[in-house]
Amino acid sequence: MVRRLALACAFLPSLAASPALAQGPRPSQGRLPTLVVHLTVDQMRADYLERFFPQLSGGLGRLMRGGAWFTNAYQDHAMSETAPGHATTLSGRNPNSTGIYRNDEGVGDNTLRGSLLEQLVPGASPWRFRGTTLFDWMHARWPRSRALSVSRKDRGAILPVGRSKQQVYWYQGGQFTTSRYYADTLPGWVRAFNAAAVAARAPGRRWDLLLDTLRDPSAYPEPDSMDFERQGRDFVFPHVLPADTLDAATAFIATPWMDSLTLALALEGVQRLGLGRGPQPDLLAISLSATDYIGHAYGPDSREQHDQILRLDRWLGAFLDSLARLRDTTRIVISLTADHGVTSFPEWWNRHGDFHAQWVSLAGMVRADSIALAARAGPGRWIRYFETGLLVMDRAGLRAHGVDVDSVVNAIATEVRALPPVLRVDTRRSLAARDTASDWIARRWLNLAPPDLPAELFVTLKPHMSWAAGAYAQHGQPTDDDTHVPIILYGPPYRPGTFAERVSVVDIAPTIARVLGIRPAQRVQGSILRQALR
Ligand SMILES: [Zn+2]
């Protein structure tokens, strides 16, 4: 069963829509949904859906055409990264409330001996996550409700369900696994799935374009020959998995097949765990990561990303068809969003009219400032980090050594402000003085930083700039490129149509809660999207 599903998803270019879901949602007549499906596509910018709309004939197309599609939605916070983005999806709260404000302080947990299958790497858990999520609210109302959350990434699987100890699996070292926070052994069905899934990452497997460019030469308008992609290596189709088994397993995660495998695991879990049978609602959270890996390597303007979105669309269609055969679709509600967007390569901008776009690194400055601070206060990690525009220092330690921290911070701010690619440099005080309704940069920084984070400076770059991090396309800034994401709500309770008003990803959880007839167990920052409800 496992093999059939995994390979069906992997190899079929497109599947006919099942009658049940193809007809679109039918009124629920007030019946309680029994399965809440939440999909997060890692790094999917909102514009992808519009750019590729005519070619999206699978699951994405079905959700867009049959659901409530919000075209002006945002992960409305700075540090637009995977961990903060996934923590907002089903909590109804921004990073300043969830406490998950950057990847590096996401789900890594050194107190765990490691994940179940990879004892050498640090474990992962939601120990930094603050507060509750939609699933906690569901579980409080229906103690028999269960959740399954799957992703390629640990943070993508863990954070949508918050601190709940449910069935949470991610892909590590060629296997789907979990950590000791959740379980002491891996269930038999996940082990069987792993054994059957080895074929998916076969050495030499070839990634060709999905659409036939002989029949339709205009199918992919993007040039395939941009030599800044993937650091100048292997940037032209076809892409072939390495001949070595281990190398192939590593390269596999950055191919479209990773998403088909993740969807197949989710489907297998629905069957093995009996999710969505009712009478209580269950939660199925799926985070699909291939778009992020492909986007980093080739960029948002690449032929590779275009092809990935088309393949994702087809696999999502196959997934929805399979789900429709397993469960009553009139009792399924589906939501789809992304954790963040991405900025085009500066080199792409240089060839498309912005000659000022460039990579920006503060590494040299941080090194010099660290040496200067060590000369005054002795050895120490006085600058904890200065990354993606956020400066955090050891203020208490410096003060204890007689350093006037404010004057140090002011000097650094002056130095950074003088750099041509820098748009503005803020402090907590300057952010607090701004009108957050009109100043969206201030609002996104404020939505990011928890009150107890000792953040000194918030640096925002000019448009089209990228923080240097290995010459891969980057995200993480408070720009629209990095924060504009899709939101689609699909199923009987939702009113199909396109909605252009500005909304936020934190609105998803309170809206689903309303559909389920429950209330958030704490104050949330999002609002119910009433315009999308029937
Ligand atoms: Zn990323």
DSSP string, 42-108: TT--HHHHHHTGGG--SHHHHHHHHSEEEEEEE--SSS--HHHHHHHHTTS--HHHHS--SGGGSSE
Ligand 1 center to 388 CA (angstroms)? 13
Closest CA to 2 of 173, 192, 151: 192
Given a cut of 50, is residue 227 above it in pLDDT? yes
Ligand 1 center to 168 CA (angstroms)? 21
Ligand 1 center to 342 CA (angstroms)? 8
At 205, the amino acid letter reads R
Ligand 1 center to 163 CA (angstroms)? 23
pLDDT tens string 244-275: 988 888 889 999 999 999 999 999 999 999 99
Ligand 1 center to 151 CA (angstroms)? 14
pTM for this model (two decimals):
0.94
Residue given tokens 């240089």 in the structure block? 350
Ligand 1 center to 233 CA (angstroms)? 19
Residues counted in the chain: 534
Please give the Cα distance from 284 to 149 (Å, whole number): 6
Which residues lie near ion ligand 1 (Cβ < 5 Å)? 292
What are φ and ψ of residue 248, in 5° steps? -65, -40
Please give the Cα distance from 425 to 408 (Å, whole number): 15
Percent of the chain with pLDDT over 90: 84
Ligand 1 center to 143 CA (angstroms)? 35
pLDDT tens string 92-138: 999 999 999 999 889 998 888 666 665 567 789 999 999 999 999 99
Per-residue CA distances from 390 to 77, 454, 467 (Å): 13, 10, 11
Predicted pLDDT at 14: 32
Mean pLDDT in residue range 471-481 = 95
Kindly give, in sequence order, each residue whose CB lies less than 8 Å from that of residue 52, ignoring residues fewer than 6 positions away: 306, 309, 310, 313
Ligand 1 center to 306 CA (angstroms)? 17
Ligand 1 center to 292 CA (angstroms)? 5
Ligand 1 center to 43 CA (angstroms)? 6
Please give the Cα distance from 431 to 429 (Å, whole number): 5
Ligand 1 center to 472 CA (angstroms)? 10
Q: Are 125 and 109 in contact (CB under 8 A)?
A: yes
Q: Are 316 and 263 in contact (CB under 8 A)?
A: yes
Please give the Cα distance from 72 to 85 (Å, whole number): 17
Ligand 1 center to 296 CA (angstroms)? 6
Alpha-carbon Rg for the chain in angstroms: 23
Given a cut of 70, is residue 11 above it in pLDDT? no
Ligand 1 center to 508 CA (angstroms)? 22
Given a cut of 80, is residue 33 above it in pLDDT? yes
Given a cut of 50, is residue 329 above it in pLDDT? yes
Given a cut of 70, is residue 472 above it in pLDDT? yes
Mean pLDDT in residue range 307-336 = 98
Ligand 1 center to 216 CA (angstroms)? 32
Ligand 1 center to 490 CA (angstroms)? 26
Mean pLDDT in residue range 22-48 = 79
Ligand 1 center to 254 CA (angstroms)? 11
State the angle between helix axes of 257-273 and 290-298 in degrees (0 to 180), rounded to the nearest 10. 170
Mean pLDDT in residue range 463-469 = 91
Mean pLDDT in residue range 451-478 = 93
Ligand 1 center to 101 CA (angstroms)? 14
Predicted pLDDT at 376: 94
Ligand 1 center to 377 CA (angstroms)? 36
Predicted pLDDT at 4: 39
Predicted pLDDT at 200: 83
In three-state secondary structure terms, 230 is: helix
Ligand 1 center to 295 CA (angstroms)? 8
Ligand 1 center to 85 CA (angstroms)? 11
Ligand 1 center to 494 CA (angstroms)? 30
Which of 17-31, 88-102, 371-385, 473-487 shows the lowest per-residue confidence on average (mean pLDDT)?
Answer: 17-31
pLDDT tens string 42-88: 999 999 999 999 999 999 999 999 999 999 999 999 999 999 999 99
At 53, the amino acid letter reads F
Ligand 1 center to 152 CA (angstroms)? 12
Burial class (CB in 10 A: 0-12, 13-18, 19+), 136: buried
Ligand 1 center to 391 CA (angstroms)? 21
Ligand 1 center to 290 CA (angstroms)? 10
Ligand 1 center to 107 CA (angstroms)? 15
Ligand 1 center to 293 CA (angstroms)? 7
Given a cut of 80, is residue 3 above it in pLDDT? no
Closest CA to 313 of 39, 8, 50, 57: 57
Given a cut of 50, is residue 347 above it in pLDDT? yes
Query: Mean pLDDT over all residues of the chain?
Result: 92
Predicted pLDDT at 471: 78
Mean pLDDT in residue range 528-532 = 98
Predicted pLDDT at 468: 87
Ligand 1 center to 458 CA (angstroms)? 20
Per-residue CA distances from 18 to 34, 137, 176, 501 (Å): 20, 32, 29, 32
Ligand 1 center to 81 CA (angstroms)? 6
Q: Are 344 and 300 in contact (CB under 8 A)?
A: yes
Please give the Cα distance from 100 to 91 (Å, whole number): 11
Given a cut of 80, is residue 438 above it in pLDDT? yes
Kindly give, in sequence order, each residue whose CB lies less than 8 Å from that of residue 159, ignoring residues fewer than 6 positions away: 83, 86, 87, 89, 98, 100, 106, 107, 126, 129
Given a cut of 50, is residue 24 above it in pLDDT? no
Q: Regarding beta strands 383-387 and 390-393, do their DSSP bridges make them parallel or antiparallel, or are they unpaired?
A: antiparallel
For 137-202, the DSSP string reads HHHHH-TT--EEEEESSHHHHHGGGTT--SEEEEEETTEEE-BTTT-SS--HHHHHHHHHHGGGG-
